[in-house]
Amino acid sequence: MAFIHTCFYIPLLLLVLNCTQDGYASNADILRNINAAVITSDGRQNGETNVEASARANRQDMVSGISCPAAEAIFPCMCTSEPGEERINLDLDCSEVENEDQLEQIMASPFPSTNFRSLTIVENANLKVLRAGILGNTTYEEFYIYWSALEEVEAGALSGSHSTATQIVLPSNKITMFPWEELPLFTSLVTLELSDNKITPFPTLASESLQNLGLIFNPLESLPLTAFRATPSLLTISLEKARISNVIPGTFDGLAQLLEVDLSGNQLNELLTGTVQFTSTGRHYLFFQRNNISRVASSAFTGVSSGDGIFLADNKLTVLEEVVWRPLLEDGVQLFLMDNPLICGCDIAWIMLNATFLSLIAEDTMCADGHLLVDLDPTFYQDHCSTALF
């Protein structure tokens, strides 16, 4: 992956700076242009308030000293810089690195600034282990390593970024080992994405800040009752295709901000009372499609309301028990039930005779005989099914 340097634009001064021969303006160029602006006797630019002058001075201080290292010193890695509202952002791409030793040698080079926004390594077949200390004194807010051959992240490999990392995104590698014990030390971490790796069993998680967890397509095999007890800030949990065969009621309890759970593509046969109990406000989504679910207990899902969605397509449901689904439809929850062998007998009369309920069930929901629910004749249920129970 190749990146090119771009010219800087400073909106405050309406200055478009000339590019250098390397393709980007240096920090010194930026400061010279800033200092060349018309200044009043009290140090303000023409038309500038004291507050604006102070903000400009702070931005000058932040820009000073922030620049990419010499290209030849970090080759085959590449550094790019981008002006932000309050600082210059530096991004490092090491997709072409040849081995661990080369990466470590590059990171030991003199860097004008060691604080980077991101480190990216994509489609690299050479780097197998992120060793402890391999990143030297550099720090990052975001890690992106994917479609590569990475097998292990050693303890201490990312330790320089304990206080800065907000995103660790390492999908589609071959990772079996990750320093889970260090998670509590990443005090700003929001997203941890390790999908499509070889992680097993389910790891021990602990983080006060983590909001988004992705472990899709890992052979986790099981989901412990205590899996999320030490991750109270989670908003989304993605565990698709993780070979999980059951969910113990209470597993998702205590997650006061939880909005989305994805357990699609697993080996679930039934969903028991208390499977997921939301206590957060906001739009909720539950994904259970592509399992083997033939039974859903009453109150399997609580805390859902109007506009929320429950996805149960491609399962083994044959009946839609009123005691299970009526409370959800009364609360305006949308149901997605395509590719289930529904019998569509008098067991669904309570739905067919209620236009509001029927509107909340996805139009592609089909009976085992191939008829869509929306195409069924309500008068049949009116004439042939007793309404005493409805």
Spans of all domains in the chain:
1-64, 70-199, 239-390
Show the tokens assigned to 354: 């209620």
Q: Which two tokens stand for residue 83?
A: 């002006």
Q: Exposed/middle/buried for 231, CB within 10 Å: 0-12, 13-18, 19+?
A: buried
Residue 51 φ then ψ, to 5°: -65, -45
The token duo for 239 is: 């565990």
Peptide bond into 201 cis (omega under 30): yes
The answer to whether 36 touches 10, Cβ cutoff 8 Å, is no
CB 77 within 8 A of CB 92: yes
Taking phi over 0 as left and psi of -120 to 50 as alpha, with beta for the rest, 275 belongs to alpha
Rounded CA gap, 84 and 8, in Å? 10
Contact (Cβ atoms closer than 8 angstroms) between residue 243 and residue 224: no
* Cα distances (angstroms) measured from residue 150 to each of 77, 126, 145, 178: 17, 8, 8, 11
Q: What CATH number does the domain located at 70-199 have?
A: 3.80.10.10
Torsion over CA: 301, 306, 311, 313 (sign): positive
* Per-residue pLDDT tens digits of the chain, which is 390 residues long: 333 333 322 232 222 333 333 433 333 343 334 343 333 334 444 555 655 544 444 444 344 458 999 999 999 999 999 988 778 999 999 999 999 999 999 999 999 999 999 999 999 999 999 999 999 999 999 999 999 999 999 999 999 999 999 999 999 999 999 999 999 999 999 999 999 999 999 999 999 999 999 999 999 999 999 999 999 999 999 999 999 999 999 999 999 999 999 999 999 999 999 999 999 999 999 999 999 999 999 999 999 999 999 999 999 999 999 999 999 999 999 999 999 999 999 999 999 999 999 999 999 999 999 999 999 999 999 999 975 444
Q: Tell me how far apart the alpha carbons of residues 38 and 40 are, in angstroms, rounded to a whole number.
A: 7
CA distance 204 to 9: 46
Which amino acid does the sequence have at 17? L
Instruction: Please state the pTM of the whole predicted model.
Output: 0.82
The whole-angstrom separation of Cα 337 and Cα 305 is 18
Query: How is domain 239-390 classified at the CATH fold level?
Result: 3.80.10
Tell me how far apart the alpha carbons of residues 86 and 261 are, in angstroms, rounded to a whole number: 36
H-run or E-run covering 50: helix 50-63
**How does DSSP classify residue 218?**
-
